[in-house]
Chains A and B, each alone.
Chain A
Amino acid sequence: MQRTSQLTMRERMWGYAFLSPWILGFLLFTAGPMVASLILSFTNYNPVGAAGAQFVALDNWRMIFVDPVVRQSFWVTGRYVLLATPILIATPLLLAVLLNARALPGKPLFRTFFYLPAMIPAVAATMCWLYILNPSTGWINRILEWFGIPGPDWVNSPEFAPIMFVLLVLWGIGPTMIIFLAALQGVPTELYEAARVDGATAVRSFFSITVPLISPVIFYTLVIGVIASLRYFMATYIVYNGTAGPGGVAQFYMLTLYRNAFVYYQMGYASALAWVLFLIGLALTLMLFASAKRWVYYAGSMDR
């Protein structure tokens, strides 16, 4: 009896030792800072100013609801999430279906090449897109010209810039495509054969067999995609050099947060902004999880 418990103790010691980097990191870089940023959000802390931090109660939080810049960011970010999310799920899914087609030769090669742009550093990729979308010298508008369509000024027009933002992230769909490909390979082929015998078209099989069976993966992509879209930042920072762009079209929430924190050093206000973003992300995630019961199908397995 004594011996077993000693053995268990030894095992636990080793286990916690191996776990310790994460526990320490969690306390130092996640839990601690989370609490700290909540506290900071009730102060006017400015690391550059000499004043130090004063307790300002709910001032920062109240400010969020009256700040016109924040209102603009909600609008710009919300529009982007609604525009980008369906595209960033449908495009890699359809690509995966194409690259999974039994009749397509050279699949590994195609997969590699469609994955390739995801390897291009985002700053470099944004610049490539920026120049190819250039209204006078870019290829896109030259091609549109051949078809007699006058190409828009993608970067400087408030109507077309949101489309440009989506184009910029389309180059990052490689990982999602690979995940969908793996999920597609997990769908039993007997089901398709049975459907074909029953006279189902390819489109019908796609919506009645493929989509339900890979819905857990679609769900995963949806959650990760919405959260990533809420935090969209880098491309717009590079396109407009850290400004809000024409008519505030690039006034993304993260830009507002970034500018308040690291340009104006309003750390208290920025902390409140970060918490609001966190709460919105959490609420959206919980809503998605609640909706999952209706449409996500877990192949009769016990997990979740």
Chain B
Amino acid sequence: MSDTTSMLSSGRQATYVRPNSRWGKQLGKLALAGTLVLFALSLLAVYLMPLGYALVASLRVRNPPADAPIWPMSPATFTWEGREVEIFRVPTADGERELAIIDKGRTASQFVDPQNPAEVIDWQGAWRTLPRVYFWDPQWQNFSEVWRFLDFGRLLFNTIIIALIGTVGTVLSCTAVAYAFARFRLPGKAIFFVLLMGTIILPSEVTLIPTYIIFYQIGWVGTWLPLIVPHFFANAWNVFLLRQFIMGIPRELDEAAMIDGANPLQTLLRIIMPQALPAMVAVALFHFFYAWNDFFLPLIYLAGKPELYTISVAMQTFQVQYGGRPELTMTASLMATVLPFILFFLGQRFFMQGVVVTGVEK
């Protein structure tokens, strides 16, 4: 834009105008950037508010008073003559003072100053109207309490094992199938591909009940097997993602390997897999997050076996039993989120690319 201006205006004029207009332009750009950042930040603040709530709520005490601040704070107390008394903010002749109440009356009460407990202060007024004094008191032990309550170590183990074995199965089977779709001339491949993509739209509920009955008949209900074994048979989303990726690898590479006498399996292992590694990482992450999140299948297949529960199912049960203790539920929610967050940050680049491939490319 500034180039056009300089070209249009005569040389001499431009040398005077340009520095100024550039300044103005820079300022305008800065203002626009500032506004956009501010807008994006405030949107983000609203969007992430429940997460902020969870962080704050997870550190609060059990049953805080109704007038308690939203922060993890506890009412301040003072030990006076062997009993614990509450501290209020009291307006007095010398300004507002933080005083401990020792004798509660409807219209007049007695206070002491925690700094100088010997002197008893009489105060006229209703103590119930006084604001309580709070102090910063995060309850870090909520985390260890949830760990023990939920037997979180076991849940973590269960969920990780189910997710990891399933991930290995998904990555191996999907890579092999995608390789076949991307590289081999096979009769019926086009029909297979349409069927494959069709299963994306097909709701799993149609197949759910017979599958459940079969697993029930062979005694797999109440074990992890229904949550793991099917993933060794490839799934449409991930095959599609990997196929797209493998099709982008130059064919000359595997042809060269074939001429050197490598069979297709060796080509897959030595040429395709190293090249397709980013896509395989994306698939691995997709599956791991899916398994970590999955609620419905563990709910029906692990019903009545708490020792086999995954984190999601256990949290739902926990919520039913301890719904009255939001601080523990929020703590549990945060604990369930830690591992996916770490993995997400580590594998972000591959993961985002994978999301894009499934959505944009054909």
Pairing of A with B: yes
Query: Chain A residues in contact with chain B, CB under 8 A?
Result: 8, 11-12, 14-16, 18-19, 21-26, 28-30, 32-34, 36-37, 40, 45, 47, 95, 98-99, 101, 103-106, 110, 112-117, 119-125, 127-129, 131-132, 134, 137-140, 142, 171, 175-176, 178-179, 182-183, 186, 217, 220-221, 223, 227, 230-231, 233-234, 237-238, 241, 254, 257-258, 261-262, 267, 270-271, 274-275, 277-278, 281-282, 285, 303-304
Which residues of A are found within 8 Å of B208, using beta-carbon distances?
33, 37, 261, 274
Residue ID in chain B nearest A139 by CB atoms: B53
Whether B203 pairs with A104 at a CB distance below 8 angstroms is: no
Whether A238 pairs with B205 at a CB distance below 8 angstroms is: no
Question: Which residue of the partner chain, among A47, A121, A230, contacts B337 with CB atoms under 8 Å?
Answer: A121
Whether B212 pairs with A261 at a CB distance below 8 angstroms is: yes
Which residues of B are found within 8 Å of A122, using beta-carbon distances?
293, 295, 312
Whether B263 pairs with A47 at a CB distance below 8 angstroms is: no
Bound: A246/B316 CA distance, A: 19
Whether A179 pairs with B232 at a CB distance below 8 angstroms is: no
Whether A37 pairs with B44 at a CB distance below 8 angstroms is: no
Number of cross-chain contacts by CB at 8 Å: 270
**Cβ distance A186 to chain B, nearest Cβ, rounded Å:** 7
Which residues of B are found within 8 Å of A234, using beta-carbon distances?
295-296
Whether A124 pairs with B206 at a CB distance below 8 angstroms is: no
Question: Which residue of the partner chain, among B177, B265, B311, B360, contacts A182 with CB atoms under 8 Å?
Answer: B360
Which residues of A are found within 8 Å of B336, using beta-carbon distances?
121, 123-124
Question: Which residue of the partner chain, among B201, B206, B352, B360, contacts A274 with CB atoms under 8 Å?
Answer: B206
Whether A121 pairs with B311 at a CB distance below 8 angstroms is: yes
If over half of B's interface residues share one DSSP class (helix, strand or loop), that class is named, otherwise mixed; here it is helix
Which of B51, B214, B230 gathers most chain A CB within 10 Å?
B51
**Cβ distance A42 to chain B, nearest Cβ, rounded Å:** 13
Whether B177 pairs with A29 at a CB distance below 8 angstroms is: no
**Cβ distance B30 to chain A, nearest Cβ, rounded Å:** 9
Which residues of A are found within 8 Å of B316, using beta-carbon distances?
123, 237-238
Bound: A182/B352 CA distance, A: 10
Which residues of A are found within 8 Å of B37, using beta-carbon distances?
104-106
Whether B203 pairs with A37 at a CB distance below 8 angstroms is: no
Which residues of A are found within 8 Å of B201, using beta-carbon distances?
223, 227, 281-282, 285
Bound: A36/B319 CA distance, A: 36
Question: Which residue of the partner chain, among B47, B50, B186, B209, contacts A271 with CB atoms under 8 Å?
Answer: B209
Whether A112 pairs with B348 at a CB distance below 8 angstroms is: yes
Whether A37 pairs with B207 at a CB distance below 8 angstroms is: yes
Whether A11 pairs with B184 at a CB distance below 8 angstroms is: yes
Question: Which residue of the partner chain, among B173, B192, B344, contacts A21 with CB atoms under 8 Å?
Answer: B173
